[in-house]
Copies of this chain bind each other. A is one copy, B any other.
């Protein structure tokens, strides 16, 4: 029986869960797959973590170099996150000919291509199922099972904190700040919530998914990113009136004009599968030209769900290591599709204005929209929401982001308009399946 040795760096929420799952299932893995999976080294700052998790004290170290330099370690499992020393760990592991399993979305979001190249050059693999969608088996599906497809669209609810907040704003009619404070109290949101609520976490994940799905270079910097701070109960009321709901989506579309990739609060029909995904759950909707519409649903975070993805990656490598059949990382990023500017986006828009004088502002706003060629389909000046007396809502026909932003900038300069309080794209979900082959 082959022993496959792993070295885990980081024994926090995800690392601890990973260690527990591996120790729990050791005998099963041995029986089912014929390899003896051992935690040969484990690195964390507090030695008591090893004991808590049932990891052999002799395996424990506080220095990650001990893990990477151990000649017996086959797979380095990097679960500390962040840029440093994660980057150095990857490089040292590659130099030592070791595969890397990681959940580091921030690092991969920026450098997935560069790291994949380095792994390929070193003849090893990087596996990152846990880096996008947590426990949801989406990375492997894009890399392997859906490989017969040109992937056309990826649209994901990729951040549990914001989905939880939006669900409560929608269902309970509470304001963003109130729900955020409650979410922080309950542990659903961090003390510094910006990575979640401003969309950065989702941006890293959609960059990873687009890179793998479209086999091209997409980094976090390519992703036009907006958060959910401006979304209020009144926006849900208006959305419902149009048969829609609002989700923070990471959208990546592989269009003839390039990759359209963005994170935005988005209005989608209530009948769309993504609309059913509530609370802290995540989902990734994927359209392939052969398979058509698919969706993958599950927990995007949490100790054991994320560990499930990490252990899946470890086991695939272990199976191949045990069988003597492990292949180096393939280089999937040889395409270099252009990234479309957000300004070229064309869709319908929902705009909520906070005004002093409804009638006067309405006339002025209509003029501004007309000047920029933005055709208004619907105006709502009914008194809805807590600030109803001072709220005007516009829904446009299809318009370009550029024109709408020009209009918004001009509206912001008008004395009669207190604020352009929310700008929400109404996504044309029908276009997501453009290019699917007819059966």
- Residues on A close to B: CB < 8 A? 17, 21-22, 25, 28, 31-34, 129, 135-137, 140-141, 144-150, 215, 273, 276-277, 281, 288-299, 302-305, 307-312, 314-316, 319-320, 323-327, 330, 332, 334, 436-437, 439
Contacts and interface: CB of A to CB of B under 8 A. Distances in A.
A138 to B, nearest CB: 9
B273 A144 contact: no
Given A145-B129, A276-B273, A292 B439 contact: no
A292 B320 contact: no
Contacts of A33: 147, 330
Given A276-B276, A295-B297, A437-B304, A148 B290 contact: no
B304 A291 contact: yes
A222 B350 CA distance: 54
A136 B22 CA distance: 28
A304 B290 CA distance: 5
B330 A148 contact: no
B334 A439 contact: no
A276 B270 CA distance: 10
B330 A327 contact: no
B305 A291 contact: yes
Q: Counting chain B CB atoms within 10 Å of each CB, which of A146, A147, A149, A307 scores highest?
A: A147
A86 B148 CA distance: 24
A148 B305 contact: no
B292 A298 contact: yes
A429 B259 CA distance: 40
A215 B31 CA distance: 11
Contact of A325 (B273, B295, B299, B325): B325
A86 B215 CA distance: 36
A291 B299 contact: yes
A194 to B, nearest CB: 23
Contacts of A149: 308
Nearest to A147: B315
B144 A290 contact: no
Contacts of A323: 325, 327
A312 B148 contact: yes
A288 B145 CA distance: 20
A277 to B, nearest CB: 8
B273 A297 contact: yes
A32 B290 contact: no
5 closest A-B pairs by CB = A148-B311, A325-B325, A137-B145, A291-B308, A294-B298
A296 B296 CA distance: 5
A326 B324 CA distance: 9
B334 A311 contact: no
